[in-house]
Amino acid sequence: MKKEEKINYEIDSNVLKNYVEAINSIKEPMSQIKEQLNQLSKPMQELSESFNESTKPIVDASKTVSKSLEPIRKIGGQFNESLKPMQEQLKNINTMSNAIKELSKKYPNEQSKIFTDTIKQMMNINNGMLSTRMIEPLNISRQYLSIMENNNDIEKISRGIYLSPSAFEDSYFSFQQKYKKAIFSHMNALYFYGMTEEFPYNYTVTVPQSYHVDTVNEKCNVFYVSDDIYEIGVAEIETPSGNKVRAYDKERCICDIIRSKGRMDLEQVKKSVKQYIQSKDKNVAKLSDYAKKMGISEKVMEMVGVYYE
């Protein structure tokens, strides 16, 4: 009797890794990203046809973009400007999408298994967690998440966030997966750096003034700032569980706690400022630059000066 061939639905690990990193790094609404992907596919197809490669994946055509950006520029100024910082992410999303399409062509009667296996593979890459944002650009229906949940393959831990049974929930990571524009800040971020005695029982985050989500305000302390200072000092840091999240660097945190000391424990603010000044890896020049951009130079230098030797 002929041994039954084991079907392999696995996607290349680099393709998966690049895709997950792309989705995690994009803060814009997924509807906007999907629209940009749709618009991007048109000039890419035109490029591939000009080289008589219409049957090749969109990602192959993207290799010629650096040589000729004119088809993309014709889309419109606004789209062109928004595409530039996300060109690599969009390419990685397309690559992942094409990998799934190729599997579907190879195994036309196994779409359900392909989709559920893809979800599991993405979760493995993403430390056991998955947000619904991760399946949207791939046109994978949410019904597969419901099927997997019913089969106890995944667990729904909050709206739009799922966890593998073998993984432990990292509340910081899952929170930022859900609220992409929330940046951990103030004492919460300093906790990641080991610069405060306060355990952040409530999240403290900073968001743009235009970002209003009622559930964010219910879950944590929210600081709203203007767009011109929102991105100052953004860094990537590991949570205590080892997952990467977006948080402000030490210098931005020091500026923030001094700027917002009226809403905070003043003694803890003083302790953190003192600890920063006494640390070997401080960057006073950067601190001064941030303070100037945030319009609080006098306040920051006055408090820092008390502990600076």
How is the chain split into domains, by residue range? 13-163, 181-307
Q: Kindly report, residue by residue over 193-237, the tens digit of the pLDDT.
A: 999 877 777 899 999 998 877 777 677 889 999 999 999 999 999
3-class DSSP state of 248:
strand
Q: Kindly report, residue by residue over 155-182, the tens digit of the pLDDT.
A: 998 888 999 988 888 889 888 888 889 9
The answer, yes or no, to whether residue 46 has pLDDT greater than 80, is no
Check if the beta carbon of residue 16 is closer than 8 Å to that of residue 95. no
The predicted model scores a pTM of 0.70
pLDDT of residue 6: 57
pLDDT of residue 73: 45
Long-range contacts, stretch 9-14, CB < 8 angstroms, 24+ apart? 9/103, 9/107, 9/110, 9/113, 9/114, 9/117, 9/118, 10/117, 10/121, 11/96, 11/99, 11/100, 11/103, 11/118, 11/121, 12/99, 13/125
Backbone angles phi, psi at 225, to 5 degrees: -130, 160
- Residue of higher predicted confidence among 11 and 82: 11
> Average pLDDT of 61-77?
45
pLDDT of residue 75: 41
pLDDT of residue 135: 94
The answer, yes or no, to whether residue 1 has pLDDT greater than 70, is no
pLDDT of residue 69: 44
Question: What are the angstrom distances between the C-alpha of 259 and each of 33, 51, 53, 247, 253?
Answer: 35, 57, 57, 17, 10
61/64 Cα distance (integer angstroms): 6
